[in-house]
Every structure is written in structure tokens, then in C-alpha cells.
Structure 1
């Protein structure tokens, strides 16, 4: 079946995509809210920055889809909720998907939906719940022609690494990615591996299913761009970054750098130069705004004297 909605996800020039994940509030963890407290401001910034897609929840998707015009980023709708990111873990773990999630995605004009497939050490019941959700979503996604992005997430033990920490073992990643493909993924959102030189194995095992690589925890700009260049060279069709963009001091600048790497073939140094230029422009604008405010205040004070 042809999934026409993906034409709005992948850039027609490069065939690649940058999806910015801003769905962290779904999971009920306070630390996940840093940088995304004001969602109107976050979405506005991202729309101006122009990634290919923004990943949002059912409660926040309207903030993107209410923006007028045809040029805004596509919507990727997060469909499942889990409580597996705390440290310590809750006594009872769960993972559930939104009822009628695919119908909601159609109504919201999403380009795809995203669902987890998690390997959490010592908790096979979470993976079972994920598989049940995936099978239900796959049935409805087929009915409505909605692309299904499966996110194989290989996690370290929370007691030693804390919530949401990636286990970069390539063998574990390859195994879980292949299970996602077997379950009917139209897209795979995969972990980066510790040794990026081996990432071609992930692309190989996914076959003709496009792989987008998730960002994981916050890293410095050079590391982020080096990782991006490496996974694209291995054959990845895009990236799904969240905190490395929305918690960045210059979200628009890092987005511009990443888009240049994805769609224009920029290398790491060129990406860093784009970011530096954006930083300088941002600083100039801030200084100009401060000078204007000082002049206005001086004028008011003079008028009052």
C-alpha cells in the first residue's frame, strides 16, 4: 500500500527527514519538562525553524495544526504512555496506547503515528504491552492508510542509569529493530549505537523500512552533528531529536545546522559554522533589543525630570 502521507514527512530533495520530538510531557516525569514548559512558545519557535515534522501528543497537537498555511512541519502523533522512566521505578509498570489513536491522527491530519517497543531489563511485561498496542495500532493504521512509526527502545537498567538511558549495544538494537519490522513498521525510530561504525547493521536488518535515529540524552553540538553525519552515511533516512533541540540555547540555530546536514550534505564543520552564525545573529538581536529598551527608559526618565 502506498502511504501518501509520508510525502509530507520526507524532504523531496534529500529524501530525508528531521522530526523534533516534543512529546515528553506525556510520561509524567518532571525532569522531562525542562525547556518545554511553555508549549505555545516551543511550537512557535519550531514552526519558524522549519523542521520536517514535530512529534506531539494528542493534547498538544492542536498547537501545531492550528498554525495557518501549507508550509508548517508535519505532525507525528505520539500514541502511547508509559511510566518506565522514573528512578526508582514505580512498583507497578504500565504501557498503554490512546484509544482510537489512528482515527485521532486522521482527524489531526498527522503524517504518521509513533509507538514504543521497549526492552527494559527485568520487565518483559512492558514489552508485551507494547506488542499488544502495536498489533492493535497496525490493524487500524492499515485501515486508514496511516504510517506507523515503531520506536524500538533498548534501555539500561534504571537502578544504575536512571530513566530513559540508551543501551547502545548494537546486537540488542538490531534484534529489537528487526522485531519492529516484523510487527509491521512503516518507519523505524531507532537508538544510536555506542559504536556508530556498526550502524549499517541496523539499516541492513530494517531492509526497505526507513530508519530515523533518535537523539537520546543531551550531548554537545559537535557530538550531535558527528553522530548525525555518521548515521546518515550508514544509510539512515533521518533523525528524531528532542532535548538536543528544545533544550538548546539556540533551537533555531541547531535546527538550521541539522537541516543543512540532512538536506544539503553539509559536514560537521559547516554545520557548526551555521550554528555559530546563528548564535551571532541571535546575540546581535538581543543587544539591539536591550539598547532599544535602555533608550526608551532613558527617554521616559528624561520626560519625567
Structure 2
């Protein structure tokens, strides 16, 4: 019983209790990609997205003391447990680099695990996801599963592949599933309907324009998503605070992408 209560209390710092939606900003890219733009002064960026209305950020354990500002608006903390680098012979092979116990000691409100469904190391990654889910249940720690269809010959935006990946996350104990947008309301609705836990849409690589990002967010929400987990398209935006706010308008205030875009272009 205590684990259930613990999850309920912690998850309220990640998901808006009033509407069940969330704006999560992953900032774990320093391991996979290195010190990229937007993550050099990570405390500054965290402050910007917090002021913009983000519910939580995702970081690795070494960044927690660096990124904790001790000032400004509070924000939920999700500790990422998985890692691989772009220099690896197989970047799709995600390994565990932190534990649920470490997350508790660092004050995290949730943990996240990355699984590439269809990769050569899928079996190992699924075993780790199941094990982490068990530990999360014991400790009362919410689990965000980043579930991507990735591997030889796999279209990572195909609705059937994305639906499978999302469902696997739920089946193995995730409280929230992050996955790719499939390109349309109709196709992504099949993903959300087939996943019995909240689905948040990934932002992916940096898009050509903020309008493209906002359109995707609106379509995902129309398809039943419960929010977003967008990294580069927020922290590498011209104004991360305003970009976060524009996305939050769609997720939390039911704004259209055009209304959010008008705000983004405003002089505020």
C-alpha cells in the first residue's frame, strides 16, 4: 500500500493533477550527443522551462546537483537511468547507469528508462525495464518508459510499430509511456487507444520551424496524448521559456497551435 501512495504523491509533481496532462522536457542528451546547444548552462535552461510552465525535466544523476537552482519556480525531477553514446558501435543498445535507490536519494519524483523495441539488444533492454518496474512498485517511484521502435528495417514512425512499442511499456509496468508521433491524428489515436497508461509524444530531432512543433503537439493531443516529452525543440529554441509556454498552452489550456504560435511571435 505504501508504494501505491508514494507513486500517487510523486506523480503529482510530474503530471498536472487537474487535467492529467504534462509537459516534460528531457535534457539527458549530454550523454548521447555531448555538450550540445541549450545544455551548456543547464541550470539556466531548467529555469527557463520552469518559468515557461514545464511540469518536469529529465536529467542524468550527475546533472542533478548542477541543475538544481535553489531559486525560481519549482519543477519536477525525473532521473534517467539509461544511457548510450553516439560513438558506440550500437547506439541503440541502452544500458542502466543509475538505480531507483539513487533516484530516491537525489530527491527524484520519477525515473525513466529507454527501450529500443526491435533492436538487436531488445531482450536485455526489456529485462531491465521489467526489473526497474518491479523496483519502482516496491519503492513507490513513478516510471516513465521511453519506448521507440528502432532496428534494422523498422520504420520508427509506423503506427503498428509505435503501437506495439507503447503497449510493451504499459504491459511491463510503466506509469507513463513516451513514444514517437506517427504523423496524423488518426494513426496516433490508434497508439493512445492501444496503450492503457498515459502516452506522451516525443519531440525527436530539431524541427525546421516552431510551427511544425506546435502542429504536432496539437495533433497528438487531439489523438488522445496526455502531453509531451520534448527536448531539443524546446531547449534549443530561440526562446526556451516562450516555447515551453506555447506548448503548455496547447497541453494545459486547450489552445490551438495557431493561438500558441501567435503567443510565440508576440513581444512578451
Bigger CA radius of gyration: 1
Equivalent-residue separation in structure 2 for 1:254 and 1:56 (angstroms): 19
TM-score w.r.t. length of structure 1: 0.79
Provide structure 1 residue ranges, at least 5 long, that are not aligned to the other structure.
159-164, 282-305
- Compared with structure 1, are the counterparts of its residues 92 and 78 closer, same or farther at alpha carbon in structure 2 (3 Å cutoff)? closer
**Counterpart for residue 182 of structure 1:** 171
Which position in structure 2 is the counterpart of 1:217? 205
Quick one: structure 1 residues 49 and 193, their matched pair in 2 at CA, closer, same or farther if it must change by over 3 Å? same
Which residue in the other structure is 2:128 paired with?
A: 133
Which of 221, 227, 237 lines up with 1:248 in the alignment? 237
1:156, distance to aligned residue in structure 2 (A): 6.3
Q: Distance in 2 between matches of 1:252 and 1:93?
A: 31
CA shift for structure 1 position 116: 1.0
CA deviation string 1:78-97 (max 9, x = no partner): 101124x45xx617974211
Q: Could you say what secondary structure the match of 1:10 adopts?
A: coil
Partner of 2:97: 98
Q: Secondary structure at the match of 1:90?
A: coil
Aligned equivalent of 1:149: 144
2:48 aligns with one of 34, 45, 60 = 45
Higher relative contact order (CA 8 A, sep 6+): 2
Q: Is the 8 A contact 2:92 2:116 kept in 1?
A: no
Cα distance in 1 for partners of 2:39, 2:47 equals 12
Alignment match, 1:199 = 188
Measure, in 2, the Cα distance between the counterparts of 1:50 and 1:92.
32
Work out whether residues 43 and 63 of structure 1, in 8 Å CA contact, stay in contact via their aligned partners in 2. Answer: no
**In the alignment, is the contact (CA less than 8 A) between 2:162 and 2:182 conserved in 1?**
yes
Length, aligned pairs only? 262
SS in 2 for 1:18: strand
**CA 1:91–1:178 in 2, change beyond 3 Å: closer, same or farther?**
closer
Q: Is the 8 A contact 1:58 1:78 kept in 2?
A: yes
1:272 alignment partner in structure 2 = 261
Compare the two structures and name the one with the higher helix fraction. 1
Structure 2 residue matching 1:239: 3-state secondary structure: strand
**Matched residue SS, 2:115:** strand
Q: Could you tell me whether the CA contact under 8 Å between 1:65 and 1:108 is conserved in 2?
A: no
Equivalent position SS for 2:12: helix
Q: 1:17 offset after TM fit, Å?
A: 0.5
Cα distance in structure 2, aligned partners of 1:77 and 1:264: 27
Query: Residues 166 and 191 of structure 1 are in contact (CA less than 8 Å); yes or no, is this contact kept in structure 2?
Result: no
Contact 1:222 1:268 in 2 (8 A): yes
Q: Give the secondary-structure state (helix, strand or coil) at the position aligned to 1:113.
A: strand
Task: Give CA deviations for 1:102-151 in whole Å, capped at 9, x if unaligned.
Answer: 1111122222111011035xx422x1221122122112111110011111
- Is there any run of 5+ residues in structure 2 with no aligned partner, and where? none
**Measured at CA, do residues 199 and 151 of structure 1 come closer, stay the same or move farther in structure 2, by a change above 3 Å?**
same
Cα distance in 2, alignment partners of residues 154 and 93 from structure 1: 10
